[in-house]
Structure 1
Amino acid sequence: MFFRTVALRFLPAVLLLLTACSESGTKTETNASSAAEETMATTADAIDSSQSALPNTATTTATAVPRPNRLIAPDTAYAQDVALFLGGQQPSQHSNLTQLAAQPGWQAFAKDQDKSWANYRATHTTRMTAWAGTELDSVHRSSPTIFYPFSGPDFLNVVTMFPTSQTYVLMGLEPVGSVPALTSLENPKLFPAVKASLWSVLNFSFFRTNDMAVDLKSVELDGALPLMMLFAARTGNQIIAIRPVQLDAAGKLVDTLTDTTQAADPKTVPGVEMKLRGPDGQPKTVYYFSADLSDWKLNAKSAPLQFVRTLGPLTTYVKSASYLMHKAYFNQVRRLVLRRSRYILQDDSGIAMKYFQKGAWQFNYYGTYRRPINLFAKHYQPELTAAYRDTVRKPKALPFGTGYNWRQTDSNLLLSRRLVPLAD
């Protein structure tokens, strides 16, 4: 515990040193042809390499293991029990996981998870819920659908911020994954892998994608879905159904082919649909799509944005997004968010202030704006510094930490409300 505290205290300084070394090898944005080919994947790789100073409890990289075809919809009761089991919560009485949950390894894991989640509730959930209930009250009343680009499997933060919404659309680079098979849950490496994957999001509010990929693949948890299930269970939601889906070339939601011998259309986008019953008994639908949202990729595969356009007016949530929408070659997703959103809640890694049409938005600033961490230093926004120093319309307090500047005293959120009619 002492060493973790020390690591947390000196994390920003270590990031600065590591980034100073890594930045010299990154490509510049002055070359238009090379910039056009940068994708979410290349940026994610840069972030992971620069953040190697973050504590990592998993040190073994597993070799690839052939996976069974699990594209069919799983048994609902089993899926709910798996979600509970992965989160350190007791499966149902008649589950075939009860024997595994009785073993000392799971019992120790469950005790540790209860402690971690209790700390997270005290430092984040309770404060976020109270803040959102006050500051986002009007947003909640008109936000049936939440769009969360660059999310990865982070259902945790979006459902905490928007607990009353009915539909959540998440998109990220991580593969979709499947409901873990019993053999994966029996793997003794499972508990340290899950713990390592959750550590950064529970302490810093964002995922380290590279560590997550290594940790989870080592126990055949093959994508975003297992963690989304875990978050659903830990936030009091009950899984009603899970369905593998895909977006066809036109952006229409269709079932995933179960016949893996049939060649898939290269323009389709893999995804999953998770139906939930919320703590209040109300139904929720969560979609996750594995998609690269850079212009270069969207020019060849436009289905993700075509699907989002069918959802009606949006509330968009953006956090720890690598400042991708600051860049010229993420124009398509940025333009969609600005044209189709009634509200945008983001930290400074979302859409740069220069892209908001003057007079079209009302802004509410929360927390503190400081310079981005060194990896993203070139995305510093003088406009935000000026806004946060406004003595007439002072920013409001933010009682929890979020984003790359994860300490409460350093974090910021910006709520933008549209003042003009939505674009067609």
Structure 2
Amino acid sequence: MYFRTAALRFLPAALLLLSACSESTTKTETTISSTPEETMATTAAAMDSTKSAVPQSAATPRPDRSTAPDTAYAQDVAMFLGGQQPSQRSNLTPLAAQPAWQVFAKDQDKSWDKYRATHTTSMMKWASTELDSVHANSPTIFYPFSGPDFLNVFTMFPTSQTYVLMGLEPVGSVPARASLANPKLFPAVKASLWSVLNFSFFRTNDMAVDLKSVELDGALPLMMLFAARTGNQVTAIRPVQLDATGHLQDASTDTAQAKNPKFVQGVEMKLRGPDGQSKTVYYFSADLSDWKLKANSAPIEFVRSLGPLTTYVKSATYLMHKSYFNQVRRLVLRRSRYILQDDSGIAMKFFQKGAWQFNHYGTYKRPINLFAKHYQPELTAAYRDTTRRPKALPFGTGYNWRQTDSNLLLARRLIPVAE
């Protein structure tokens, strides 16, 4: 996986300095405010100033996606992208018989076997004990700043029914067969998965460049891949959007039709879980900074309409530490019964005293150098508390990705959820 053991100890900082983390983006935004960090996009751009915009290929015609994706085809695409054999009747079966895909499939099996051994098995065992009561009361999971990371949220919360993911990445669509026949597809997918399988977070600017080059145009293809690799079956996919009041609507499937900027674009992915239960996954391409939400509060209104939540936050570039992410931070604190996060989530100073019970896991030292200014003395004190010692965390997660350096906080609400 382009991996060099001798360089392991230098990778976290170097990796992040060269690429944006979970909320990076390559789209440019017009600067309207004199404050340079008004939005998620400008924060990501500051983190990744060495990257240029994703080139748009004029030579490659865009595939026709004017009709809703066939369900069987969508599941076959998910399997194919993950290096798993599509169904025998699929028109992708001839592609899966080619030597290039066979090599790719073997490589993916090896990578996913390693990931299960180093992450999935430990994560699911830990979650089944430490999050047992959370699972019983978490029908809906909110995962802000997620990008396409269905992998980690499902591993942590496998029994939930609804998952709401939000990030800057464009929504994307089910890849056409022509895109899947591109010989550049396999190295692009492999490169896109490299950091999440080795370090648990995405290098999303690199991911965007890699996937754009093979006509995979957003978060959905990787979400489908993760669904297949976690034992879920894709049963339906439909484009959706949020109107100005946060109500969910069908979105046009005609890619030639311009999108209404007043609507927040998204996708709904229906799954059948490994246990046979139905699940719904939403992804919305949304900037959650205060300035953007002031112009369009639809993402906040939609999440608020879902009732009490469990919120999961990981590798979130410390955005909710900042004053201009007040709305989404307030939403999480007011509407969540449980919050599971690493230290890049909500800073401890924002939790109302007496309103939460905290369980700390793993180790907290300080953020990696890129985020050093977000060090929290309150967390250091909590991890040194001899009356309520932190519990072990048997896997690595977040920017401090080594098991010996990772941390998680489980916050349980002690007072009623705010209306």
Q: TM-score, normalised by structure 2?
A: 0.92
Query: In 2, Cα distance between the equivalents of 1:286 and 1:398?
Result: 27
State yes or no: 1:301 paired with 2:280: no
Q: Say if 1:194 and 1:215, in contact at 8 Å, map to a contact too.
A: yes
Match of residue 198, structure 2, among 203, 211, 214: 203
* Structure 1 residues 81 and 61: alpha-carbon distance in aligned structure 2, compared to 1, 3 A threshold: same
The count of residues paired between Structure 1 and Structure 2 equals 405
Match of residue 339, structure 2, among 326, 341, 344: 344
Cα offset, 1:6, TM superposition: 2.1
Where does residue 116 of structure 2 map in the other structure? 121
Which deviates more from structure 2 when the two are superposed, residues 297-306 or residues 161-170? 297-306
Cα offset, 1:47, TM superposition: 3.4
* Structure 1 residues 50 and 410: alpha-carbon distance in aligned structure 2, compared to 1, 3 A threshold: farther
Percent sequence identity over aligned pairs: 84
Match of residue 212, structure 1, among 207, 210, 218: 207
Unaligned runs of 5+ in 1: 20-32, 53-58
Cα offset, 1:375, TM superposition: 1.3
Where does residue 8 of structure 2 map in the other structure? 8
Match of residue 149, structure 2, among 151, 154, 157: 154
Where does residue 78 of structure 1 map in the other structure? 73
Which deviates more from structure 2 when the two are superposed, residues 66-75 or residues 282-291? 66-75
Deviations 1:79-118 (A, max 9, x none): 0000000000000111111111111100000000000000
Where does residue 404 of structure 1 map in the other structure? 399
Where does residue 30 of structure 2 map in the other structure? none
Query: In 1, Cα distance between the equivalents of 2:339 and 2:58?
Result: 41
Letter aligned with residue 6 of structure 1: A
Deviations 1:281-336 (A, max 9, x none): 00000000000000011111111011001101000000000000000000000000
Cα offset, 1:13, TM superposition: 5.9
SS at match of 1:246: strand
Where does residue 246 of structure 2 map in the other structure? 251
Letter aligned with residue 86 of structure 2: P
Match of residue 130, structure 1, among 122, 125, 128: 125
Where does residue 229 of structure 2 map in the other structure? 234
Match of residue 159, structure 2, among 147, 159, 164: 164
Q: TM-score, normalised by structure 1?
A: 0.91
State yes or no: 1:394 paired with 2:389: yes
User: Mapping of 1:2-401 within 5 angstroms?
Assistant: 4-12=4-12, 14=14, 34-35=34-35, 38-49=38-49, 65-259=60-254, 264-401=259-396
Query: In 2, Cα distance between the equivalents of 1:307 and 1:316?
Result: 14
Q: Say if 2:270 and 2:281, in contact at 8 Å, map to a contact too.
A: yes
Q: Say if 1:251 and 1:307, in contact at 8 Å, map to a contact too.
A: yes
Cα offset, 1:9, TM superposition: 2.7
Query: In 2, Cα distance between the equivalents of 1:232 and 1:118?
Result: 16
Q: Say if 1:45 and 1:210, in contact at 8 Å, map to a contact too.
A: no
Letter aligned with residue 41 of structure 1: A
SS at match of 1:421: coil
* Structure 1 residues 50 and 36: alpha-carbon distance in aligned structure 2, compared to 1, 3 A threshold: closer
* Structure 1 residues 231 and 101: alpha-carbon distance in aligned structure 2, compared to 1, 3 A threshold: same
SS at match of 1:244: strand
Query: In 2, Cα distance between the equivalents of 1:412 and 1:379?
Result: 15
Query: In 2, Cα distance between the equivalents of 1:207 and 1:2?
Result: 15
Unaligned runs of 5+ in 2: 20-32
Cα offset, 1:45, TM superposition: 2.5
Cα offset, 1:42, TM superposition: 1.8
SS at match of 1:95: coil
Query: In 2, Cα distance between the equivalents of 1:269 and 1:75?
Result: 24
